[in-house]
Structures are given as structure tokens and as C-alpha cells.
């Protein structure tokens, strides 16, 4: 029996079996974190600087249409031309 400040009493239920604690998820966090990081890195595109040789195999001369050559290239910051 437990009393309260107003003088009422109540009977608390008694348990004979120990209630099971919820599963502790702390050990799984490092695995989840590494799994998410691996997925992100797997799908990431890493930029690597490229050396573009102007005119390709025709070289730098007046017979090459450099506008046409440049239209077929994809340039990124850090590339060398």
C-alpha cells in the first residue's frame, strides 16, 4: 500500500516476473554508421584533374577546328589544357 498526501491509499500490483529490458542498440551504431558511410562513398563521384591535349592527335595548328574539338570535351575545375 502506498499513501498520498491527501490520505488516500492505493494498492500497487506486485509482479513476480522480471520485465525484459528493451534490446540495447548501442553495439549496432558503429556498424550502421560504417554502412551508411560506405553507401555514400560508393555512390560518390570523385573528381580527378584531366590533362586535355588541345587538338588531340592533330596538335596545335591552324588546320584544327578548336571550337569543334572543345565541343566534344567536358571540362572541370582543376583540368589542365
Residue 73 lies in a domain: yes
Residue 1 lies in a domain: no
Residue 78 lies in a domain: yes
Residue 28 lies in a domain: no
**Residue in 52, 49, 47 with CA at minimum distance from that of residue 81:** 52
- State the pLDDT at residue 66: 83
Residue 24 lies in a domain: no
Per-residue pLDDT for 81 more than 70?
Answer: yes
Tell me the per-residue pLDDT of 50-78, one tens digit each, with 9 for 90 and over. Answer: 887 777 777 677 777 888 888 888 888 88
Those residues with Cβ within 8 angstroms of residue 12's Cβ, 6 or more apart along the chain or in another chain: 1, 2
The H or E element that residue 70 is part of is helix 66-71
Residue 20 lies in a domain: no
Tell me the per-residue pLDDT of 5-55, one tens digit each, with 9 for 90 and over. Answer: 666 666 666 655 666 656 666 678 788 889 999 888 887 777 678 887 777
Report how many domains make up the chain: 1
Q: What is the residue range of 72's domain?
A: 45-81
Q: What is the pTM of this model?
A: 0.35
- State the pLDDT at residue 49: 82
Residue 52 lies in a domain: yes
Is 30:38 a contact under the CB 8 Å cutoff? no
- State the pLDDT at residue 25: 63
Residue 76 lies in a domain: yes
Amino acid at each position: 500500500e502506498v499513501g498520498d498526501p491527501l490520505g488516500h491509499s492505493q494498492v500497487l500490483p506486485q509482479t513476480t516476473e522480471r520485465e525484459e529490458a528493451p534490446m540495447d542498440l548501442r553495439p549496432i551504431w558503429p556498424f550502421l554508421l560504417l554502412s551508411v558511410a560506405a553507401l555514400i562513398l560508393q555512390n560518390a563521384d570523385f573528381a580527378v584533374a584531366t590533362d586535355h591535349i588541345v587538338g588531340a592527335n592533330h596538335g596545335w595548328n591552324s588546320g584544327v577546328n578548336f571550337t569543334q574539338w572543345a565541343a566534344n570535351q567536358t571540362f572541370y575545375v582543376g583540368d589542365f589544357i
